[in-house]
Amino acid sequence: MKRKFFPSVISILLFIIPFFWLKPGFMDLGGDSSRLYFYDPLRYLINYSLFVVSPSGLGSENIGFMTIPFVALLAVAKRILVSSTVLISAFHGFSLATSFLFVYLSIVQLLHTSMKSERLKELSALAGGLLYVFSPISIFGWDKVLITHNHVFLNPVMFYLMLRYVVTDRFYYLFWALLVTFVFSANFSFAAAPVFFAFYPISLVLLLVYKRWILNQAVHWRQLGAAFIVFMFLQAFHIVPQIASMVTPGSVLYTAVFSSSGKFDRGLGYFSSIAPSIKTSINVLLLPQMMEVSKLLIFMIMLPLTVILGLLRSGKEEQRFKKTFLLIGALFIVIFFFATGNITDLGLSVYKKLFILPGFSIFRNFYGQWAGAYLFYYAMIFGLALPAVLEVYKKAKMWLLVFVFLFLVNAWPFINGSLTNPFLWDSDNIRIAMNMDPVFIKALLYIRQLPTDGKVLTLPITDFGYQIVAGKDTGAYQGPSMISYLGGKQDFSGTGEFGRYRELFLESVRDGNIDEVKRILGILNIRYVFYTSDPKVYDAFPVFPYNDVRKYFPKRQKEYAQFVESLSLRRLTSFDNRFHIYELPIERVTPRIYVPKKTIVISRAVEDMSVPLSLLNGEGA
């Protein structure tokens, strides 16, 4: 009971911490892929996860099947908890508590053969768990996390379950591991390929070597083979479509894995541009790369010193533990190389050669994609080294207490929530946490009831596929279109959604050629225009995400209203004089399925979008 007290108390405290991050009714939902599944998981499931076509813009290829189990589980949880704020806080709390607990349990298991006192083992495992959760490299990036960020707790959970299986040979642990992989399928999909391949292959090698070399036990290959078959069966609902896409020339996955642009331009070129900025010393101290760090963090020098001192003392340890320490240390060095990249000219040259391998371009943003594995194994090697240091050096315990204290002081902005609720980039002090405007919800429900045959144009339009939705009181959502993911309508919320029509559309707006603007909208099956006249969604964002479009569209919201009026659209309704919904004449909109009225022969390539749209005379062709 004494051994369970401290890890239990710490886990409970970690679970409670995120409940202080958000005010009642507030949510943090934005980011590149958004976290709208916390707000309305059922709609997110229906509009995104179940279809092979993206719900936005032109309807590009979608590989969202892998989110089905996780989002379905959230839908059940939302029915129970009701509040999205509580759901978000509970999930973040679960992530923190689970991360700490399973790092702690893994270190305890690996220290099992050590001859150190139980008290020193417990203390070291607790320190390793806190290091994993509160290290500077860990606490950054929680404000706009992707769904694949779940690796922060999945890595420790999966490692511990597999470690226990290796030690006990009980299939019970494999069963739970397989169940975890199904629930969190998104982290075992193409979308999570970088963090998956950064952690699992090396971890599997470690566990197999640990079983054969350290425990001197035979590996049960048949059980592992059966578990792999079950794993593939459980993941088949998203792996099979992704494999089909990967072998289809022209698809998103084929381009990313096999094409020359995916292998070199998007891989080696990106890697080469950021590699010189990555500092080995920063990684050694477990600090975030390319971010301003406090001078207080010089105390992080204790981490490599502890590992070095532990290595020097490992020769006097029990043989099995000595092998464990050396094995994890060796794999840690391998991960350190991949997470740092820029280690001598020779190391950098070797790293660049690896981009010849098909698919290695997934590691172009290498320091971020290897960060999860690097953090986990840093916590492991630190936890294994610490007992020897605490036993030999009398003042080490005092220094450990000072270290933990400074650690928590540095992590205080994360603990109190200010780090997880920053200002949106390039905004006029608009924070990411927002409470949903009930008037916007009314407008969204109205759009949801509109006829299916007709896409939506959202104004003010952004450079990318983002949409800005202002909160009722403060804050704003900045992420993929809510009209698409919650409203179920294909929405052009950014000019990037226009594909080859983008330049023509922007030039027509700039030149005031309203008739041609309407023609483009009609050809793209855009029947409705959703316009938000609230200055907070446009004037409060002087740069991103409107930097490029401001060269073509009005500079301020007041002028934007005049532009919308110039389109001469039929107003369907308005909500609170802020959310306006318009309709193009039905005869000008090309339906999704139609019989062309005429055939126009053009001697130039179809890709040449300079062909005047006036040739089409507003008719389907």
User: What residue ranges in 463-502 does DSSP mark as E strands?
Assistant: 466-470, 476-480, 491-494
Cα diameter, the chain: 90
**pLDDT at residue 249, rounded to an integer:** 81
Q: Which residue has the higher pLDDT, 144 or 602?
A: 144
Determine which of 23-27, 389-393, 569-573 has the lowest per-residue pLDDT on average: 389-393
Determine which of 57-61, 86-90, 602-606 has the lowest per-residue pLDDT on average: 602-606
Mean pLDDT, residues 211-237: 93
**pLDDT at residue 289, rounded to an integer:** 84
In sequence order, the 6+-apart residues with CB closer than 8 A to the CB of 73 are 183
Judged by DSSP in three states, 357 sits in coil
How far apart are the C-alpha atoms of 319 and 601, rounded to whole Å?
Answer: 81
The predicted-structure confidence for 262-320, as pLDDT tens digits, reads as follows 444 557 888 888 888 898 988 898 888 877 766 667 778 888 888 888 887 766 667 77
Greatest mean pLDDT among 2-11, 136-145, 165-174, 354-363: 165-174
Q: What is the DSSP letter of 431?
A: B
- What mean pLDDT value characterizes the chain? 87
The predicted-structure confidence for 346-357, as pLDDT tens digits, reads as follows 989 999 888 888
Mean pLDDT, residues 32-54: 89
Phi-psi region at 494: left, alpha or beta (left = phi > 0; alpha = psi -120 to 50): beta
How far apart are the C-alpha atoms of 127 and 302, rounded to whole Å?
Answer: 12
**pLDDT at residue 619, rounded to an integer:** 46
The predicted-structure confidence for 19-33, as pLDDT tens digits, reads as follows 999 999 999 998 888
Task: Report whether pLDDT(376) > 90.
Answer: yes
The predicted-structure confidence for 520-559, as pLDDT tens digits, reads as follows 999 899 999 999 999 999 999 999 999 999 999 999 999 9
Tracing tokens 């040449």 back to the chain, one arrives at 608
**pLDDT at residue 617, rounded to an integer:** 47
Written as six digits, the tokens of 185 are: 């399928």
How far apart are the C-alpha atoms of 137 and 412, rounded to whole Å?
Answer: 14
The predicted-structure confidence for 243-265, as pLDDT tens digits, reads as follows 888 888 877 777 766 655 444 45
Mean pLDDT, residues 489-506: 91
In sequence order, the 6+-apart residues with CB closer than 8 A to the CB of 546 are 460, 462, 463, 538, 553
Task: Report whether pLDDT(12) > 90.
Answer: yes
Written as six digits, the tokens of 63 are: 């590989």
Task: Select from 102, 43, 118, 51 the least CA-distant residue to 75.
Answer: 43
Contact 436, 471 (CB under 8 A): yes
Identity of the amino acid at 379: A
Predicted TM-score of the model (pTM): 0.89
Above pLDDT 90, what percent of the chain?
55
φ, ψ dihedrals at 434, nearest 5°: -145, 155
Helices (H) and strands (E) in the chain, counts: 26, 9
Q: What's the pLDDT band for 400 if we cut at 50, 70, 90? A: confident
Axis crossing angle, helix 118-134 with helix 396-410, rounded to the nearest 10? 20
The predicted-structure confidence for 454-487, as pLDDT tens digits, reads as follows 899 999 999 988 999 999 989 999 999 999 999 9
Mean pLDDT, residues 491-504: 90
**pLDDT at residue 379, rounded to an integer:** 95
**pLDDT at residue 263, rounded to an integer:** 42
Task: Report whether pLDDT(609) > 50.
Answer: no
**pLDDT at residue 51, rounded to an integer:** 81
Mean pLDDT, residues 307-336: 84
